[in-house]
Structure 1
Amino acid sequence: KVIPSSQIQIIQSLDGGILQEIYVQEGGLVIKGQPLARIDDTRFRSDFDQQEQEVFGLQTNIIRMRTELDSIIISDMSSDWRQQVKITKQNLVFPQTIIDEEPELVKRQQEEYSIRLDNLSNQLEILVRQIQQRQQEIEELASRISTLTTSYQLVSRELELTRPLARKGIVPEVELLKLERTVNDIQGELQSVRLLRPKVKASMDEAILKRREAVFVYATDLRAQLNEMQTKLSRMNQAQKGAFDKVSKAVIASPVIGTIKKINFNTLGGVVQPGEEIMEIVPSEDKLLIETKITPKDIAFLHPGLPAIVKVTAYDFTRYGGLKGTVEHISADTSQDEEGNSFYIVKVRTQESSLMKDDGTQMPIIPGMLTSVDVITGKKSILEYILNPILRAKDTALRER
């Protein structure tokens, strides 16, 4: 008879669920990949859709953050504080698939992108005004120092010329005292202005540093958030693969070509437990494996590799012919049937898996069908068939047993 050459395939649902559809019947032929049954995927699809939303959110956040970082320029080479930090908005571009799937999400990210960079620009603009104000103050102090220095030089010269005249009584002493007081006042004011100038310069440098630090801290925090988002996205992608696998496995497909041997569930809406057996499939192959019984008296000249002809009892041999095969295995010892008859088990592998009608239609052969096998051990001519009985009689003539 025809036997399965590989083990019976047990069809299971890895995750279980509610049985929604059964597409096959017992005894039916199936091909590899053919849908057998369907598990309700509502729960799995809900999880997958939720994870897909999270993935889109993470992807758009990552794209926005990267574009923000590309819009921020920090230069260590320039001595001009204006060139050390720049904010140049880059175009925020999203994949078309995300734009089509989540237009509102894309819109929110675009708004957040503009708001965040605008806020940073406004923060930097305040510091720019402070720097420019300090620059103006420094320029005013420089001008004031120049004016006071000139005034001091002129009044000091006037004082030098007035002293001799005051000693001679030409100029009143009161006038001399006024000039001395004026010189002291100018000198004191000049000293105060000169002391104020470094303080204003230090205040300007501090504003420049704050401007640079504000951008540096912003970029550092943004990179940290970006790294965190990328880590989350990596984990979510793995989780989404698992969720997609559950959705895809809701439709249970045949792993092999074969015949449905048994279906364990017949009630739609029933609950299938994870790993529970749903049905069994007996595999079919391009080459069949035939198991036949050979009596001990016929075993002597048999060995693996001999050609054979397999006749399927379900199909008329004279009409459909048989299958060519090869002896593949001979059991090492005899077995006995229920009646006590001894036999060797011989397995024959066929070259084809089906018979063919005249019109080309295949006649399927499935495990369990009964067969008869003719093993070809050699060839004889017609003359040999005629002479063999005579030769055997000659060999045994005039002998006692």
Structure 2
Amino acid sequence: MGHIEDIEESKMPSSNTAPAIMFGLTVVFLVFGVIGGWMYYAPLDSSSVAIGSVSAGSAKKTVEHLDGGIIKKIYVKDGDSVEKGDILIELEDIQLKETLNSLESQYQDALALLNRLEAQRDNRDSIEFSKDIKDKTLIDTQNSIFYTTKKSLRDEDIITQKRIVQIKKQIKSLEALIDSRERRLFIVQKEKREQRELFDEQLVDKIRLQELEKEESDIEGEIASKLADIARLREQISELKTQQLLRKKQFKEEVLENIVQTKIKIEDLKSRIVSTKDKLERTKILAPTSGIIVGLKKHTVGGVIGRGEEILEIVPKDSKLLVLARVNTTDIDRVKIGQYADLMFPAFNMRIVHIIEGKVIGVSADIFEDKATREQYYEAKIELTKNGEDELKRNGFILISGMPATVMIKLERRTTLEYLIKPFKDMVIKGFNEE
């Protein structure tokens, strides 16, 4: 028995090692307690990392060209600041200027023609030319045509009138002859009556009576012939007058028709002149608004700009720059408006990384897809805070639209313990849901 007691006593810890063991256990419990407490209470910041780029807060103004053309001179480059109305690019205008000169020359020619036609229509003695006609040669040409035509018409009238006068003289001569023959007829008829009375009384023979009857018949025939000649001559006068009226009417109708056609031509030329002047003005491509030049697509003098082709964009000066970030689809449930974000811009080639503070002001309601990579993402809009803007100014940094950015959106805080057990918690919930 004594031996057994010795063995049991040897298994019992000695009074010298017991305090050390107790101390060790206490330290272990304290360490785990402190770590557990820290894990339970200590906040752990989490972020959603996204790539993004700087973009104008308000819509950029896209500069296009309606007509297109060949580049004559380029006045700007990306990043330049411009004011509204500044010349950005100038196109070749030689052909347009030649076209405009030709159209204006045709317009003045048509205007001078119209002035002459209107003077002819109104039967004026001279032409009143428009003040828009500057070419004296045009005035001289139309005056020459006007007076030549007027003289020709007047000469035709004179010839017609002379012909009518001649015919009237012939008629007058015939009328005088008829008058003479009628008087002779009266005498013959009187003598014929007297001879008939004598013949009836058998005082004279019939020979003289027959001679008088024959002469009477001849005179009447002659008078009838002369009357027919007079009627024919009067018909000639009527025809001459009718022809004269027809000539004048035809001339006036031609003048009126030419006036209508000339007015149509003038309106067409005026329209084409206005259009060409507009095109000429558009050879100077002007800034539609004040701002910063971005995305300049043409850099070579002599290059061609297509009709309606986009040339560059202008970020308005009063536009506040934002960062558009591509948020991972798995983080979208925790990205909310009002969250802060740390922004870094690789374009600022500095040895020290500068963190610029921003704030989420918008999150897209729908998903986007990159056409090139087929990557899906949500878009978050982030604006610089006052602190972020001050940080940029202190370092002399200037944001430019299109500049790349790395974005870390600060999500809600979680404890370390919540962070560690979340995967197991999600696994358990998923397992129960599957069951």
| TM-score tier after normalising by the smaller chain length | 0.5 to 0.7
Q: Equivalent of 1:61, from 113, 116, 125?
A: 113
Query: In structure 1, what is the Cα distance between the partners aligned to 2:362 and 2:170?
Result: 104
**Does the 8 Å contact 2:61/2:316 carry over to 1?**
no
Q: Are 2:91 and 1:39 equivalent residues in the alignment?
A: yes
Q: Equivalent of 1:281, from 291, 301, 313?
A: 313
* Deviation for aligned residue 1:283: 2.4
Query: After superposition, where does 1:145-224 map in structure 2 within 5 Å?
Result: 145-163=178-196, 179-224=212-257
Q: Equivalent of 2:156, from 117, 123, 130?
A: 123
* Deviation for aligned residue 1:254: 1.8
Identity %: 19
Q: Are 2:305 and 1:253 equivalent residues in the alignment?
A: no
Query: In structure 2, what is the Cα distance between the partners aligned to 1:246 and 1:144?
Result: 82
Q: Which residue of 2 aligns with 1:340?
A: none
SS in 2 for 1:96: coil
Change over 3 Å in CA distance of 1:349–1:53 after alignment to 2: farther
Q: Which residue of 1 aligns with 2:79?
A: 27
Q: Are 2:283 and 1:230 equivalent residues in the alignment?
A: no
Query: In structure 2, what is the Cα distance between the partners aligned to 1:255 and 1:184?
Result: 106
Q: Which residue of 2 aligns with 1:95?
A: 130
* Deviation for aligned residue 1:134: 2.9
Query: After superposition, where does 1:326-341 map in structure 2 within 5 Å?
Result: none
Change over 3 Å in CA distance of 1:262–1:196 after alignment to 2: same
**Does the 8 Å contact 2:77/2:293 carry over to 1?**
yes
Query: In structure 1, what is the Cα distance between the partners aligned to 2:383 and 2:203?
Result: 146
SS in 1 for 2:122: helix
Query: In structure 2, what is the Cα distance between the partners aligned to 1:180 and 1:259?
Result: 123
**Does the 8 Å contact 1:329/1:348 carry over to 2?**
no
**Does the 8 Å contact 1:284/1:366 carry over to 2?**
no
Letter in 1 for 2:313: I
Q: Which residue of 1 aligns with 2:39?
A: none
Q: CA RMSD, aligned part only?
A: 4.8
* Deviation for aligned residue 1:277: 5.6
Q: Which residue of 2 aligns with 1:271?
A: 303
* Deviation for aligned residue 1:51: 1.8
Q: Which residue of 1 aligns with 2:62?
A: 9
**Does the 8 Å contact 2:115/2:129 carry over to 1?**
yes
| TM-score where L is the length of structure 1 | 0.64
**Does the 8 Å contact 1:11/1:280 carry over to 2?**
yes
**Does the 8 Å contact 2:62/2:314 carry over to 1?**
yes
Query: In structure 2, what is the Cα distance between the partners aligned to 1:116 and 1:25?
Result: 64
Change over 3 Å in CA distance of 1:287–1:329 after alignment to 2: farther
Change over 3 Å in CA distance of 1:36–1:159 after alignment to 2: same
Count residues with an aligned counterpart: 328
**Does the 8 Å contact 1:258/1:281 carry over to 2?**
no
Q: Which residue of 2 aligns with 1:394?
A: none
Query: In structure 1, what is the Cα distance between the partners aligned to 2:183 and 2:288?
Result: 102
Worse-superposed segment, 272-281 or 117-126: 272-281
**Does the 8 Å contact 2:363/2:378 carry over to 1?**
no
Change over 3 Å in CA distance of 1:282–1:194 after alignment to 2: closer
SS in 2 for 1:33: coil
SS in 2 for 1:21: strand
Q: Which residue of 2 aligns with 1:112?
A: 145
* Deviation for aligned residue 1:162: 4.2
Change over 3 Å in CA distance of 1:12–1:187 after alignment to 2: closer
Query: In structure 2, what is the Cα distance between the partners aligned to 1:365 and 1:116?
Result: 77
Q: Are 2:175 and 1:142 equivalent residues in the alignment?
A: yes
* Deviation for aligned residue 1:211: 1.0
Larger Rg: 2
Letter in 2 for 1:137: Q
**Does the 8 Å contact 1:127/1:210 carry over to 2?**
no
Query: In structure 1, what is the Cα distance between the partners aligned to 2:361 and 2:155?
Result: 89
Query: In structure 1, what is the Cα distance between the partners aligned to 2:185 and 2:383?
Result: 122
Change over 3 Å in CA distance of 1:242–1:196 after alignment to 2: same
SS in 2 for 1:190: helix
* Deviation for aligned residue 1:41: 0.8
**Does the 8 Å contact 2:82/2:290 carry over to 1?**
yes
**Does the 8 Å contact 2:55/2:324 carry over to 1?**
no
Structure 1: runs of 5 or more not aligned: 72-88, 307-312, 315-325, 335-342, 356-363, 372-401
* Deviation for aligned residue 1:105: 0.8
Worse-superposed segment, 103-112 or 278-287: 278-287
Letter in 2 for 1:233: I
Letter in 1 for 2:285: I
**Does the 8 Å contact 1:330/1:346 carry over to 2?**
yes
**Does the 8 Å contact 1:291/1:348 carry over to 2?**
yes
Change over 3 Å in CA distance of 1:330–1:273 after alignment to 2: closer
Q: Deviations over 1:253-297 (max 9, x none)?
A: 1223221224444443x2324348684223215453544889xx9
* Deviation for aligned residue 1:190: 1.3
Worse-superposed segment, 238-247 or 283-292: 283-292
* Deviation for aligned residue 1:142: 3.2
Query: After superposition, where does 1:337-376 map in structure 2 within 5 Å?
Result: 347=381, 367=401
Change over 3 Å in CA distance of 1:241–1:146 after alignment to 2: same
Structure 2: runs of 5 or more not aligned: 1-52, 339-344, 349-359, 369-376, 390-397, 406-435
